[in-house]
Structure 1
Amino acid sequence: MTVAVNHVVDGPGNGRDGGDSEVVVLSGSLGSDLRMWQPQVAPLTGAGYRVVRYDHRGHGGSPATQGPYDLSDLGGDLLSLLDALGVEAAHVAGLSLGGMVGMWVGAHAPERVRSLTLCCTSAELGPRGMWSERAELVRVRGMAPIADAALERWFTRGWRAGNPRRAEEFGEMIRATDPVGYAGCCAAIENMDLLGALPRITAPTLVISAAEDPSTPPEHGRRIAEAVAGARLEIVREAAHLGNVQQPERFADLMVEHLEVQKHE
């Protein structure tokens, strides 16, 4: 069964009826909530898009169902959200887990996807045992033991030192995540293998990798871009895993540019 996920709509037609505005759905990372996409909201709405941000099940304001989850569960949640909003097809942008969900939807429900922007993500992310160990840790001890290590992966040392208050906001975001939901999503990543599905993606695809991302280094993005017909790869410097937060303007520019290209093709 799908979950009615917490979401926020910004921009033109911010009710159910969005008029003629094209919809961009922003799907976040494991351990974050929809606030992680705040830097991209103004550039996207300013370009005339209706922006939908949402929380994965067990994250932010979305309820946690008993896990483990599969990508089909998380992808189903996104499709149900589009149905609830009356959106036939949307531009889907996802980072990390959100990008995995985007790839799944792009391969399994291509008619619902106008374009894909896949940020700091992977189509296969091992080692598998790491994910089950992390899931067990948070189930037993809660989220606090993993927060500091997550921040080290999300942001470079220099950015954390220069933005301590912002880094702590993301630390609180991690600690506030429901352990059941987090563990369930760990299982979805552990069992994920999207490599065979990538050639089925037909939506125009932009892959953005961050040069200093220790979780999904640029070779993961390159592997995706090589498997999806016509996909383009961009590598953003001076950014770690949450590159859209560390280099907000560059990510926003790339995203808007990719969306605008679709209007003229």
Structure 2
Amino acid sequence: MTFSRIGSGLVHWQEGGPRDAPAVVLVNSLGTDCRIWDDVAARLAGSHRVICYDKRGHGLSDVPPGPYRIADFTRDLISLADAIGLRRFSLVGLSIGGLIGQDLAIRHPDRLAALVLADTAPKVGTVESWTARIDAVRKNGMTAIADAVMERWFTPAFHSLKPDELAGWRNLLLRQPAEGYVATCEALRDADLTGDLVRIAAPTLVVCGDGDQSTPPDLVRAMASRIPGARFELVAGCGHIPPVEQPEQLAELIAQHLAEHATSETLPGLRHHGRFDRDWPCVREPL
């Protein structure tokens, strides 16, 4: 693992794959850290420089005072990319990671070679649903929402067939900083990028688990229809977290898209290298 200090504080990140290969940054979802990408990163690292990081308020990164805005996460990403020497790169964003990807594509189109948006939308949930989620965590901690979140993250088949893995991912959620989780919920509550989707120029692949209850396929498909030239694909047998539940399917879709569109540029004199720890319309409810 590697740590870099940017304007918002300390950021934990990992890197794998050839250092001179096209770079792709994987951005995780609400209530998770970069470990959700382990299986996908290992599959992509044969042909890409793969960077995963813990966004602010999550994992081993710092927890700046909230509330947060999506633009804050985008600035963090640009600062991290500059710190590790990435001028131009591809991005895969899951859930709020996809909102960060959308915002990056809108604000900094010159930095983005290709974009993959997974199980996300330009607006997720309602003010009421996010307010209820925030209040529950503030009053009773992460345990107040853990079981409900697991129902949305994973399909009934995953619950039935992989109870130990389910328990492990529940532990991961419980160990996220409550302050960072709440501040990120506030960013999701206030975000609506619907009107700006037409400005996304990067080649875009949009994917969604066919059993996603947080950002259902029809919602994600509607987003794809607003992005010029975007392609939509379903991930079979999957809920809201494809890199955990169906990593092989997701990695194959990402690899195909990046093979067609990915290029990257490295800023001279700014190469820092970490390693992976492993070899390698609004929804009714919040994530």
TM-score by structure 2 length? 0.87
Decide whether aligned partners of structure 1 residues 21 and 27 sit closer, same or farther in structure 2, where only a CA change above 3 A counts.
same
Q: Is the Cα contact below 8 Å between 2:114 and 2:262 reproduced in 1?
A: no
* CA distance in 2 between partners of 1:94 and 1:76 (Å): 15
* CA distance in 1 between partners of 2:183 and 2:111 (Å): 25
Partner of 2:14: 8
Q: Is the Cα contact below 8 Å between 1:4 and 1:77 reproduced in 2?
A: no
For 1:185, give the aligned amino acid: T
Q: Does 1:179 align with 2:178?
A: yes
TM-fit CA distance, 1:263: 5.5
Q: Is the Cα contact below 8 Å between 2:10 and 2:61 reproduced in 1?
A: yes
Q: Is the Cα contact below 8 Å between 1:123 and 1:220 reproduced in 2?
A: no
TM-fit CA distance, 1:140: 2.4
TM-fit CA distance, 1:2: 3.1
Q: Is the Cα contact below 8 Å between 1:9 and 1:53 reproduced in 2?
A: yes
User: Which blocks of at least 5 consecutive residues in structure 2 are unaligned?
Assistant: 1-6, 264-287
* CA distance in 1 between partners of 2:237 and 2:262 (Å): 30
* CA distance in 2 between partners of 1:95 and 1:102 (Å): 9
Q: Is the Cα contact below 8 Å between 1:2 and 1:80 reproduced in 2?
A: no
For each residue in 1:69-97, what CA deviation from the matched residue of structure 2 results, as whole angstroms up to 9, or x when unmatched? 00000111111110111100110001101
SS at match of 2:51: strand
Partner of 1:25: 25
For each residue in 1:182-216, what CA deviation from the matched residue of structure 2 results, as whole angstroms up to 9, or x when unmatched? 00110111111111111111100000011110000
Decide whether aligned partners of structure 1 residues 194 and 3 sit closer, same or farther in structure 2, where only a CA change above 3 A counts.
farther
Indicate the larger mover: 87-96 or 215-224.
215-224
Q: Does 1:168 align with 2:174?
A: no
Indicate the larger mover: 58-67 or 2-11.
2-11
Q: Is the Cα contact below 8 Å between 1:4 and 1:81 reproduced in 2?
A: no
* CA distance in 2 between partners of 1:93 and 1:136 (Å): 30
* CA distance in 1 between partners of 2:50 and 2:9 (Å): 20
Partner of 1:16: none
Decide whether aligned partners of structure 1 residues 85 and 212 sit closer, same or farther in structure 2, where only a CA change above 3 A counts.
same
Partner of 2:278: none
TM-fit CA distance, 1:241: 0.5
Indicate the larger mover: 202-211 or 138-147.
138-147
Q: Is the Cα contact below 8 Å between 1:33 and 1:60 reproduced in 2?
A: yes
Q: RMSD of aligned C-alpha atoms? A: 1.3
SS at match of 1:197: helix
Q: Is the Cα contact below 8 Å between 1:113 and 1:203 reproduced in 2?
A: yes
Q: Is the Cα contact below 8 Å between 1:155 and 1:241 reproduced in 2?
A: yes
Partner of 1:17: none
SS at match of 2:45: helix
For these two proteins, the number of residue pairs brought into alignment is 257
* CA distance in 2 between partners of 1:52 and 1:263 (Å): 14
For 1:39, give the aligned amino acid: D
Q: Is the Cα contact below 8 Å between 2:117 and 2:205 reproduced in 1?
A: yes
SS at match of 2:219: helix
Which of the pair has the greater relative contact order for Cα pairs under 8 Å at 6+ separation? 2
The 5 Å alignment of 1:1-265 reads: 2-13=8-19, 20-46=20-46, 48-262=47-261
